[in-house]
């Protein structure tokens, strides 16, 4: 069973790696064109964050939590078509309303922008808001694919999005695009706005074509009744509470970062993007592979199987996430320099990104574990409990950000935000585990502790040795992105190999399972 789950996640992991790799290229292209630490980059970040926040707040969090369980229970094509129609109509209205209210939304989320920043942010936001509709279509079609056993396709679709944005930034540079906000022309603003949104549209188109390839007819129904709107609302209502809380946390953190100093928001956003990579490659791949089976086990009230699936997810993801977290802590500054010290990037912003990334390494394992446990609640069609825990996590995140801004004034306050995020997710994981234990009868705690008790020594040995190698290599290579890249490759490879040897010697069975899954 472990082998089957690991193998089912391999294609998804490969797709996610390619997707996130092109996503890094996209980030690097934007950094080179707009300049990490510049007012223009911060303004673009604010505007491009809003569609994601609005989508999550209106429907996105609800779709993520309830779609796959619903489609597993209602596998007929007509139901999925009506569900897709409901999403399109609802989000279409949302796009129109939010576009009209773009100035007010920008002021709410970033009231401390200067006059030029506000003007550009409003214009870009209006270009970006149609992404809300495309995100909804893509998420719904991805759930249809997942319910039909095609979980890997959605992992590859963002590649198209990234390539379109990379091409957009290339054109922006060719036509003389600037990294200075005050020199930005109307044509350059249009190019950034249209090109970025076109990427999300192409991503949705890829998912549409892939869904049709399974024999599913993608079409809208004039009458979307029959999908169980009341039941969906009951399931999704609590999820929206949690999403609203997380969005409040995002707004608070972004506003504190904007007011703390130039470049802080961009550094924080880029560090968070890098932090999400291991979660997307490892945890999402494994969870996506197991979610349909988890939902079926929950539907037949097989609680022992639900426990077994959750335990398997935690153990298989933990064997990769623990050493990855150690590498982020040790190599975070070098990784940020290698990736972002290019073009118009401000050196101080690059250095800050590395420090924030290292702090985020502390959050990786509790964050991913917390996300896995949430899927257990969703499979049981319980969205109220995760919402309550989500409120706790959001409140702790906001509290950590406020305390950080008070204790560490200036741009470096975002480092404290990352540490607070780690503590908040630790609390979320522990509370979720306790509640699930009461619900399921057990959470396979002894097996989880035994497995992680073997992974931890291997991680500590590899992490310590990596720190020594990085320090020695850094003295040889010197500063600059090329030197940092050399350090990352040398120390990272050494640390990964040493961890593998230690995990094998300590008989970490999950490590051997993943190795077996990687064999052709």
Distance CA 210, CA 401 (A): 42
Average pLDDT over residues 225-239: 67
Please write the tens of the pLDDT for every residue from 306-336. 888 888 889 988 999 999 999 999 999 999 9
Please write the tens of the pLDDT for every residue from 350-384. 899 999 999 999 999 999 999 999 888 888 878 78
Distance CA 404, CA 213 (A): 50
Would residue 42 be called left, alpha or beta, if left means φ above 0 and alpha means ψ between -120 and 50 degrees? alpha
The mean predicted confidence, pLDDT, of the chain is 85
Average pLDDT over residues 479-497: 91
pLDDT at 205: 95
pLDDT at 220: 80
Q: What angle do CA 12, 389, 391 make, to 5 degrees?
A: 105
For residue 487, give the nearest of 356, 361, 354 by alpha carbon. 354
pLDDT at 292: 72
pLDDT at 33: 85
- The string of DSSP letters for 112-133 reads T--HHHHHHHHHHHHHHTTHHH
Task: Answer whether residue 343 shows pLDDT above 80.
Answer: no
In the chain, where the domains are located? 2-518
Q: Which two tokens stand for residue 233?
A: 């609302």
pLDDT at 128: 96
Task: Answer whether residue 27 shows pLDDT above 80.
Answer: yes
Outline where DSSP puts E strands in 130-246: none
In sequence order, which residues have a C-beta less than 8 Å from that of residue 323 and are 6 or more positions away? 458, 459, 462, 463, 495, 496, 499
In terms of Cβ atoms closer than 10 Å to its own Cβ (0-12, 13-18, 19+), residue 176 is exposed
Most confident stretch, 26-35, 262-271, 462-471 = 462-471
Band (195; pLDDT cuts 50, 70, 90): very high
- Which has the minimum average pLDDT: 34-48, 387-401, 425-439? 34-48
Backbone angles phi, psi at 157, to 5 degrees: -55, -40
For residue 444, give the nearest of 325, 313, 311, 280 by alpha carbon. 311
Please write the tens of the pLDDT for every residue from 272-309. 888 988 887 787 777 777 777 787 888 788 888 888 88
pLDDT at 143: 81
Task: Answer whether residue 465 shows pLDDT above 50.
Answer: yes
- Which has the minimum average pLDDT: 130-134, 233-237, 422-426? 233-237
pLDDT at 425: 94
Task: Answer whether residue 110 shows pLDDT above 90.
Answer: no
pLDDT at 155: 81
**Percent of the chain predicted with pLDDT > 70:** 90
Most confident stretch, 109-113, 312-316, 442-446 = 312-316
pLDDT at 428: 94
pLDDT at 171: 93
- Which has the minimum average pLDDT: 50-54, 224-228, 250-254? 224-228
Distance CA 268, CA 38 (A): 13
pLDDT at 59: 66
Cβ atoms within 10 Å, residue 203? 26
Please write the tens of the pLDDT for every residue from 55-105. 877 665 556 556 666 676 666 777 778 888 888 888 899 999 999 999 999
Average pLDDT over residues 186-208: 95
Please write the tens of the pLDDT for every residue from 239-271. 778 778 888 888 888 888 878 877 788 888 889
């Amino acid at each position: 069973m472990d082998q089957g789950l690991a193998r089912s996640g391999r294609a998804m992991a490969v797709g996610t790696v390619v997707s996130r790799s092109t996503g890094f290229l996209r980030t690097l292209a934007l950094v080179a064109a707009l300049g990490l630490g510049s007012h223009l980059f911060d303004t673009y970040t604010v505007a491009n964050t809003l569609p994601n926040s609005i989508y999550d707040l209106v429907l996105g969090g609800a779709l993520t939590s309830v779609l796959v369980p619903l489609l597993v229970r209602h596998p007929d094509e007509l139901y999925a078509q009506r569900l897709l129609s409901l999403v399109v109509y609802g989000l279409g209205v949302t796009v129109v309303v939010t576009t009209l209210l773009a100035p007010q939304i920008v002021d709410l989320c970033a009231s401390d922008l200067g006059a030029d920043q506000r003007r550009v942010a409003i214009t870009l936001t209006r270009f970006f808001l149609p992404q809300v509709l495309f995100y909804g279509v893509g998420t719904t079609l991805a759930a249809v694919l997942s319910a039909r056993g095609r979980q890997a396709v959605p992992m590859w679709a963002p590649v198209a999005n990234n390539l379109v944005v990379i091409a957009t930034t290339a054109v922006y540079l060719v036509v003389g695009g600037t990294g200075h906000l005050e020199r930005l022309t109307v044509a350059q603003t249009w190019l950034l706005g249209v090109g970025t949104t076109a990427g999300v549209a192409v991503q949705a188109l890829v998912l549409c074509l892939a869904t049709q390839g399974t024999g599913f007819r993608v079409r809208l129904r004039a009458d979307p009744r029959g999908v169980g709107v009341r039941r969906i609302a009951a399931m999704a209502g609590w999820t929206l509470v949690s999403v609203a809380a997380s969005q409040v946390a995002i707004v608070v953190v972004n506003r504190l970062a904007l007011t703390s100093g130039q470049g802080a928001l961009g550094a924080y956003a880029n560090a968070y993007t890098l932090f999400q990579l291991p979660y997307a490659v490892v945890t999402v791949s494994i969870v996506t592979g197991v979610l349909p089976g988890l939902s079926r086990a929950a539907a037949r009230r097989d609680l022992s199987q639900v426990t077994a699936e959750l335990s398997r997810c935690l153990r298989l993801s933990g064997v990769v996430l623990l050493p990855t977290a150690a590498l982020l802590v040790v190599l975070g500054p070098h990784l940020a320099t290698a990736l972002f010290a290019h073009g118009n990037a401000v050196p101080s912003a690059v250095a800050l990104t590395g420090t924030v990334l290292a702090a985020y390494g502390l959050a990786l394992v509790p964050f991913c574990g917390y996300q896995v446990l949430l899927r257990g609640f969703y499979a049981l069609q319980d969205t109220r409990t995760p919402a309550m825990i989500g409120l706790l996590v959001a409140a702790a995140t906001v509290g950590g950000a406020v305390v950080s801004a008070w204790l560490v004034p200036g741009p470096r306050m975002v480092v404290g935000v990352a540490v607070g995020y780690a503590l908040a997710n630790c609390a979320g994981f522990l509370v979720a585990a306790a509640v699930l234990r009461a619900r399921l009868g057990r959470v396979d705690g002894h097996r989880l502790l035994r497995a992680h008790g073997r992974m931890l020594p291997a991680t500590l040995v590899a992490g310590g040795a990596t720190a020594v190698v990085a320090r020695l290599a850094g003295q040889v290579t010197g500063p600059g992105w090329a030197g940092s890249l050399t350090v990352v490759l040398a120390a990272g490879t050494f640390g990964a190999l040493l961890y593998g040897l230690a995990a094998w010697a300590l008989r970490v069975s999950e490590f051997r399972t993943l190795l077996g899954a990687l064999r052709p």
